[in-house]
Structure 1
Amino acid sequence: MPKPTLRAAFAVPALATALAAALAVAPALPASAAGHTLVVNAGAPFRPVTHVASGGLYALAENNRPADTTLLPLRMHTLTQPPPGVGQRPNGQPPGGDALLVAPQADRVGAAQVIRMPDIYPDFPYKWVSWDDWLSKVDRMVSARLAATSVSNVVAWEIWNEPDWTWNTAAAGDFNAGWVRTVQRIRTRDTVTPVAGPGYASWDANRMRAFLTTARASNALPDIVVWHELGHSSASIASHVAAYRSIEASLGISPRRVFINEYAATDEVDVPGRVTNYLAKLERAGVWAADRAFWYEYGTVNGLVTNNTQPTGSWWLYKWYGDMAGSMVTTTPPAQTGLDGFASYDSTRRRVDVVFGDEAGGNAVRITGLGALGGTVRVTLEATPASGRFTAVTAPTTIATSTHTVTNGEITVPVANMTATSAYHLVVEPTSGVPAYQQRYEAENASVFRAERLSAASASNGGYVGRIDNTGDPRSQSYVDFVVAVPQARAYTMTIGYANGTGVTATQGLAYNGGAWSTVSYPPTGSWGQFGATVTTTVTLKAGYNTIRLAKGAPYFSGGTGYAELDYLQLT
């Protein structure tokens, strides 16, 4: 990239000048002609809702910034944070966001962390000193993480950031060889934590092939493959992921998780309509995770929160995303630019959510596959504006609430006078029998640490979490975090759907909101992956959002016995 794609440790006036120049030459936001239709097939699920693109680079800062109340509704997936001993001074700010220091807050909101190692340097672009200097820094970072025995949400080391323009080849030698050398150094101390990379500033097939070839030959393949999608490139995300999969297969490499840990350019990241386009394409491409790019100040989820507690217009887009449950369902935009959106169907609530935008004028959303919702449905349409980073938006604007007749399993909702910079939200529900609050939470929709999302015909919504196997080491412990919302502070009966094919009773730890651990026992069932059995317990929750953890192993919990698979939990 010709300019820093992440952040630069410039003085603030220099940054302002650089951003002004970038905006001056950047393409205009889409302003396509009106009259387009986004097609949603609520009967075509393609993956569980996991909120893959709800993460952020430098999203959190020390001292609980921003407040938990702003983070829990977003159901954040993954954070990329600086390492212990961070030296990076983003945009003239003091060093901050140390992954180990923000870990307790990330843990409370169910978010995983990837540690970006080169941010131990104060400058960006990074100023290489020597191999002795770098490897000693690697040793210090790894040792600090190993000493943090209460931290279990670190899921990878990111070896370098944007080496295609920040790696000093003249002083440090070839990056691919440097990657191998660094991975080997990490493995002398830490053989457990996955490694992530190469972290290119943009997609380049030839560069990626050369990197993977070297890494494979040296037994130093990344567990998580990283690159960035910035600068009006959302239309290419699917083709880039497909190209990566082709290279991976051609080299005989088993499928890796794809992590786009920076998306949306400076003039896009605070524009809900434009960001909606990114989220739609990231979901359809099947990435494991994606983080909002960092351009301004850390500790705000990159512009979602102002004054530590107040949502901006963009926050509501991610709140709608966080409210999704069940399965992501197919959306078909009229073109690769302009109008696009993403959608979910929650079979237990019989609810369809559609978030769309990046288009002006009068357009429409056609939703098919609605047979399960009955002959008539209630449709609520709301919008959130591009308020900027420092203007609070207390609530989205409700545009209309209407009743539609379902014909041949579908409806078409016209949306007049759209603004390209705004995002829009459609909620489609039956006209009666809608629950007052979400009661069932699918395990595959939760935050899953060192376990696997799997599918089974007998599972609620077709999915479950299995291989919850690990105890002892905070780098490998297995647990599932459910972020739930309840209307009142009180005791709730919690029913857990499960399977236990061991033939004997298994146990897991249960804790909520960071409180004391108790034990849940799972009597044996017929076999693995066959669901229908339940156990019940009582949990006392606060009004609003709560985090419930079920664990085979976790900090401050000595570990469960045997093995159990989780289908769902239900609060009544």
Structure 2
Amino acid sequence: MKNQRRTVSAATLTVLTIITAGALPSPAQAAGTTLTINAGTSIRPVTHVAAGGLYALAEGSKPADSTLLPLKLNTLTQPAPGVGQKPNGQPPGGDALLVAPQADRVGAAEIIRMPDIYPDFPYGWVSWDDWLAKVDTMVRARLAATTVSNVQAWELWNEPDWTWNTSAAGTWNAGWVRTFQKVRSLDTVTPIAGPGYSAWNQSWMSSFLTYAKANNAVPDVMVWHELSGPSGIAAHVAAYRALETSLGITARPIVINEYAMTTEVDVPGSVTSYIAKLERAGVQTAQRAFWYEYGTVNGLTVNNQPTGTWWPYKWYGDMAGNMVQTVPATQTGLDGFASYDGTRKIVNAVVGNESGTNSVRVTGLAGLGTQVSVTLESAPSSGRFTAVAAPTAISTATYPVSGGAITVPVSNMDAGRAYHLVVQPTSGVPAYQQRYEAENASVFRAGRFSSTSASNGGYVGQIDNTGDSRNSSYVDFVVNVPTARSYTMTIGYANATGATSTQGLAYNGSAWSTISYPATAAWGTFGSTVSTTLTLKAGYNTIRLAKGAPYFAGGTGYAELDYIQLT
């Protein structure tokens, strides 16, 4: 989605009306509502689902790694190799292969948007010979980039519901199949994402999937946009799942690869509502829509400094353990998302999208003691050009726990602000996070699983090495330590091969070393550990454990990862 949309022809206005209807944020004006956070009810491991963006990065490490690492970015959509797209009159930039090393340093995956090879938006179709030649060039460029390992998928087209030139190129469904077949003839490994509609539309999706299935061209990753407010996200995801089932299509990961309109994307309260609903809907990832300058994560940074909207994403990045259930009183007012880190016994919540005096009720706190410490701060709606060096402190107070619950009033809320609520034992918590769960990490082409014996109940398995950087497995941990020094890293693992297995270890661009995992009793049964020593810098560091990755010859045998701990 780009601002050029405002200059499109009248022929597209019907679609635009559908997309933009109800796009203005409309938080409820009546005060006195309550958001309930059930800290004892986990909904999924923390994976920072909605921490991503379209055209988030530009060449030359823009924005700086220091602004990105705290956000724990999940997935980005970047333009195709040899990008021609000139977003909002800017020079072409953000080439997926050129920015891949920076995305890799901060633990982020990339989806490559292929039609951005064109300079215009809407895309200026030339001919099928021209398009297929462009596809050939893009795919071959990716295949030649053998050290790029963080590409999640090819996105074949963007917003075909209004940018596909039916009169010149034929029907979209047929065009999808033809392009799908071309990509697959060159690259049989990388997943393919689609259809990329600009809005959820049941009839469009049904027609597309029916045709794609009949022609063996169903996307590996389902993508569409949510730009007309967040309240319909859950219903749209449910409708897609029902459609998938009715057509006999196996479940695909869902990526909402653009969310939030111009009136929402730079408003902390509004994006808080989007993130909350995306987390509850169960999508795999979601990405902030692009409207202005690329290379800023769409307004989260200005001159390598955080804006007001950066802060709720930073608080999101601080979350660990499991995302927990949040229950808003309505779908259009006060909402939020929250996590519970069972190791440190911290409830971390971000709420907003409401004005006046409201309340946050937190249940499931019996394990934190008879009273808890509650810290509250907020981030303003500063826009994309005003740096905000720190959030605004509101209060720190002690609350008695009654029936495992507390109720925290939040006075004089501003609907544009986001509010950060941290609940922890009054006895205190460790000064820094020491244990990092594998299921919370950036997981590339491996699986997240559950086990009662695993720390926090989850682990990562199916970590394999194919000898191909496009689909070998590794896990990246973005860690934050207080001082530059040596740390002992303990790894919880399982290895039921009957023999010692190995993986590669690298961090902050270091040379690879080998981690050996002696055999254990069974898969999915944890308690065994191995340890090594790392020399880390103060602040954020990225630690990779790999079965296969660029510059690493590959591990032996198999091992499942439970956690790492730094002491």
Q: Deviations over 1:72-116 (max 9, x none)?
A: 000000000001100000000000000000011000000000000
5+ residue gaps in structure 2?
8-15
Counterpart position of 2:209: 212
TM-superposed CA distance for 1:171, in Å, is 0.6
Where does 1:26-425 land on structure 2 (aligned, <5 Å)?
27=24, 29-232=26-229, 234-307=230-303, 309-425=304-420
Distance 1:273 1:412, change over 3 A: same
Tell me the C-alpha RMSD between the 2 structures: 1.4
TM-superposed CA distance for 1:9, in Å, is 8.4
Give 2:508's match in structure 1, choosing from 510, 513, 518.
513
TM-superposed CA distance for 1:8, in Å, is 2.4
Q: Deviations over 1:152-211 (max 9, x none)?
A: 000100000000000001110111111111111011110000000000000001110111
**Is 2:551 the counterpart of 1:538?**
no
Counterpart position of 2:12: none
Query: Secondary structure at the residue paired with 2:4?
Result: coil
TM-superposed CA distance for 1:433, in Å, is 3.9
**CA distance, structure 2, for counterparts of residue 82 and residue 225 of structure 1:** 18
Query: Secondary structure at the residue paired with 2:226?
Result: coil
Aligned length: 557
In structure 2, what residue type is equivalent to 1:162? E
Q: Deviations over 1:334-369 (max 9, x none)?
A: 001010000000000100011000000000000000
Runs of 4+ in 1 over 4 A off after TM superposition: 22-26
Counterpart position of 2:11: none
Counterpart position of 1:552: 547
TM-superposed CA distance for 1:31, in Å, is 4.3
In structure 2, what residue type is equivalent to 1:145? R
Query: Secondary structure at the residue paired with 1:76?
Result: coil
**CA distance, structure 2, for counterparts of residue 323 and residue 102 of structure 1:** 24
TM-superposed CA distance for 1:231, in Å, is 2.5
**CA distance, structure 2, for counterparts of residue 129 and residue 520 of structure 1:** 53
Contact 1:70–1:311 under 8 Å retained in 2: yes
Contact 1:376–1:430 under 8 Å retained in 2: yes
Contact 1:161–1:200 under 8 Å retained in 2: yes
Counterpart position of 1:14: none
Aligned-residue identity in percent: 73
TM-superposed CA distance for 1:244, in Å, is 0.1
Give 1:450's match in structure 2, choosing from 445, 449, 467.
445
**CA distance, structure 1, for counterparts of residue 508 and residue 490 of structure 2:** 18
Q: Deviations over 1:299-355 (max 9, x none)?
A: 000000001x20000000100000000000000000010100000000001000110
Q: Deviations over 1:26-63 (max 9, x none)?
A: 64542421100000000000100000100000000000
**CA distance, structure 2, for counterparts of residue 565 and residue 385 of structure 1:** 42
TM-superposed CA distance for 1:218, in Å, is 1.1
Query: Secondary structure at the residue paired with 1:179?
Result: helix
Contact 2:40–2:363 under 8 Å retained in 1: yes
Query: Secondary structure at the residue paired with 1:345?
Result: strand
In structure 2, what residue type is equivalent to 1:444? E
Contact 2:26–2:332 under 8 Å retained in 1: no
Contact 1:486–1:544 under 8 Å retained in 2: yes
Contact 2:227–2:258 under 8 Å retained in 1: yes
**CA distance, structure 1, for counterparts of residue 133 and residue 21 of structure 2:** 42
**CA distance, structure 1, for counterparts of residue 280 and residue 2 of structure 2:** 24
Contact 1:470–1:553 under 8 Å retained in 2: yes
TM-score, normalised via structure 1 length = 0.96
Contact 1:326–1:347 under 8 Å retained in 2: yes
**CA distance, structure 1, for counterparts of residue 233 and residue 198 of structure 2:** 14
**Is 2:469 the counterpart of 1:478?**
no
Contact 1:9–1:92 under 8 Å retained in 2: no
In structure 2, what residue type is equivalent to 1:201? S
**CA distance, structure 2, for counterparts of residue 95 and residue 345 of structure 1:** 42
Query: Secondary structure at the residue paired with 1:8?
Result: helix
**CA distance, structure 2, for counterparts of residue 472 and residue 486 of structure 1:** 33
